Amino acid sequence: MKKKESFYLSSKKHVGAFNQPIVFFLFVCIIFLLTGARLFWIQIINGSYYKKLSDENRIKLISNPPIRGRLLDRNGIVLADNKLSYSLAIQPRLLTEREWLSLRGTLSDLLNISTHKLDIAFKKINIDTPYKKVLVTDLSEEQVIRFKEQKKNLYGAQIDIDLVRNYPYKSLAAHTLGYTQLITQQEFFTLSEQGYKLSDRIGRKGIEAAFESQLRGKWGGEMLEVDSLGAVQRSLGLKLPKAGKDITLTLDIELQRTAEKVLSDKVGGAIVALDPRTGAIRALASQPTFDLNFFSQPFTNYQYDNLFLSSTLPLLSRAFNAYDPGSTWKPITAIAGMESGRFPPSRKLNTVPCITYGSHCFPEHNKRGFGWIGYEDALRVSSNTFFYQVGVGSGSQALYDAAIKLGFDTYTGIETLLDENKGLVGNKKWADEGRGWGKPGETPWIVEDMASASIGQSVVLVTPLQLARAYAVFANGGYLITPHLVDANINWRSEKYLQKVDIQDMTLDTIRRGLRKVVTNGTAMGLNIDASIFPPVAGKTGTAEDSSGGADHAWFAGFAPYDTGEIVIIAFAQNTPGGGSVHALPMAKKMLQTWYKLNSSERLISGKEEL
């Protein structure tokens, strides 16, 4: 029995001794196999990825942003450019907590910035990150000079230089120029393929947005070789950024200044001035307005909300928003009457104190009527009951057709299309389909709608720019122009942009004579006071009830000179009761004065050049 046990133990030792090398060999094989698999995974499967990481350890790419193109007025005056901005940044990886406390105190004393402000900015930083972080933006030149004088004692801190958008005239033409903002994360995913970076700014509104591709330019950069500590060893290549293109606008800064000034005391409103021969916009203003430089500097959430959530809507361009046009709409009703054949140019109608349509008696504005009058006198005295009869008698389709011919209920074609409201010209088809808010068949067109539409109320909404485009037809002899802010070497008098309106000469001449009488001895006689300062004017005043429930709007739409039609002026005062003659007409008069002065100077200079 002992021999068997001895043999068993001896055999077990021999087997154990025999198995140990095999186990060790298998263990080593497994280690090499795993190591090989890992190397295969790193070098073959993910080789390009780790090569990129390796390159980034020794190669640093420094991006150079492009200079954004400038915005200029028609005479070359700069309306938007770029300025240097200085920021204080630190390299967290170079600082211990104790070193930061020391640096913080030095920076606070040197730059006159509270340690509390620096601490708040620093605490937002991940201390472990090797990348620089901005602590303070928009440093003054004096602060920059102080920093540079003590730079050797400010290890870990640096001054960064950047270009930001600058608007020398602040709020001038704010809604027309637009502004820029940093792109969002979502936009970056879409725009990165076009060369945009997370630090890029993009045009948000107006010309800045419409001409973004031309204004932005292209990024450049430099490839640097650095050591393990990030110190630059040499430059491996340089690509200069490509500056954006300057954009010259059709705006005239002096006319724009006048527009902003005449609007400054209004709760809201707009001014449009354009050349009816080409559609070139000379002034485009909206009230209230805002400082464009707000978006080029740091702001708090409170300041941001105060601008974007303000009840006065300063970011809304009133020139592109739609309102009840009131009596400035009556020439369109006149076109419907004459072109339909139901109320020819020679027709006279009896104007009375009140005309009943449906359940409502629609009054004459003077409560008495004007007796038997024709189109010219109806425009001169702005008779409501005359145009009620014409509009109701012609029907909604005739009025809609006339409106479409003059460019209403559609976009004008201006470059800043995204900012523009389409407006509304109510008609039977629109009402039968639900008026945009009801169910089809439940909101039928009624005679009361037609009466209101005849004088530009309730179911008619137009933008000041649309109205300017329509009155250009009366000024230029019957052509629908394309309003624009940039000439861009385009022939704006070609058939593509200048279309002959399908209305009879007699219709056009009748309306033109009526609009002239409005100024000579009608509701716009206020323009005749000191009339020697500008040429003969034709136009129409308007007082419109606000269909949204506010106070009345005041309008004036006109053109000058009467014979040649070189400028169209639209003056609009939102929720300013008192009438177009009282509030809008004086604004238009000042615009005409400035235009005439500028126009006379241009002609004088042109005459001298010819001599």
Residue span of the structural domain in which 501 resides: 253-610
Please tell me the distance from the alpha carbon of residue 563 to that of residue 557, in angstroms, as a whole number: 16
538, part of any domain = yes
**Residue 138 belongs to a domain with what CATH number?**
3.90.1310.10
- In 138-265, alpha helices (H): 141-149, 174-177, 185-191, 206-210, 212-215, 253-263
The answer on 261 and 240 residing in a single domain is no
**393 Cβ partners below 8 Å, 6+ apart?**
337, 342, 343
Taking alpha carbons only, the member of 103, 192, 113 closest to residue 152 is 103
The answer on 294 and 204 residing in a single domain is no
158, part of any domain = yes
342, part of any domain = yes
The answer on 319 and 209 residing in a single domain is no
The answer on 295 and 242 residing in a single domain is no
24, part of any domain = no
Last residue of a domain, one of 248, 265, 299: 248
Last residue of a domain, one of 204, 228, 248: 248
Please determine, for residue 51, whether its predicted confidence score (pLDDT) is greater than 80.
no
Last residue of a domain, one of 248, 277, 310: 248
Q: Which is higher by pLDDT, 42 or 455? A: 455
Q: What is the pLDDT of residues 220-259, one digit of tens each?
A: 776 666 665 556 666 666 777 788 999 999 999 999 999 9
472, part of any domain = yes
2, part of any domain = no
17, part of any domain = no
Task: Give residue 48's pLDDT band: very low, low, confident or very high (50, 70, 90).
Answer: low
* Helix-, strand-, coil-residue percentages of the chain, each rounded to 5: 45, 20, 35
For the chain, how many structural domains are there in total? 2
Q: Across residues 92-114, what is the average pLDDT?
A: 82
The answer on 305 and 210 residing in a single domain is no
The answer on 496 and 357 residing in a single domain is yes
The answer on 346 and 223 residing in a single domain is no
**Residue 584 belongs to a domain with what CATH number?**
3.40.710.10
The answer on 299 and 185 residing in a single domain is no
What's the angle, vertex CA 388, arms to CA 385 and CA 389, rounded to 5?
90
10 secondary structure, DSSP code: H
The answer on 242 and 146 residing in a single domain is yes
Q: Across residues 209-228, what is the average pLDDT?
A: 80
Please determine, for residue 611, whether its predicted confidence score (pLDDT) is greater than 50.
no
Q: Which is higher by pLDDT, 126 or 576? A: 576
The answer on 168 and 219 residing in a single domain is yes
298, part of any domain = yes
Q: What is the pLDDT of residues 268-302, one digit of tens each?
A: 999 999 999 999 999 999 999 999 999 887 777 88
The answer on 238 and 156 residing in a single domain is yes
Q: Which is higher by pLDDT, 218 or 4? A: 218
The answer on 206 and 85 residing in a single domain is yes
Q: What is the pLDDT of residues 426-440, one digit of tens each?
A: 999 999 999 988 999
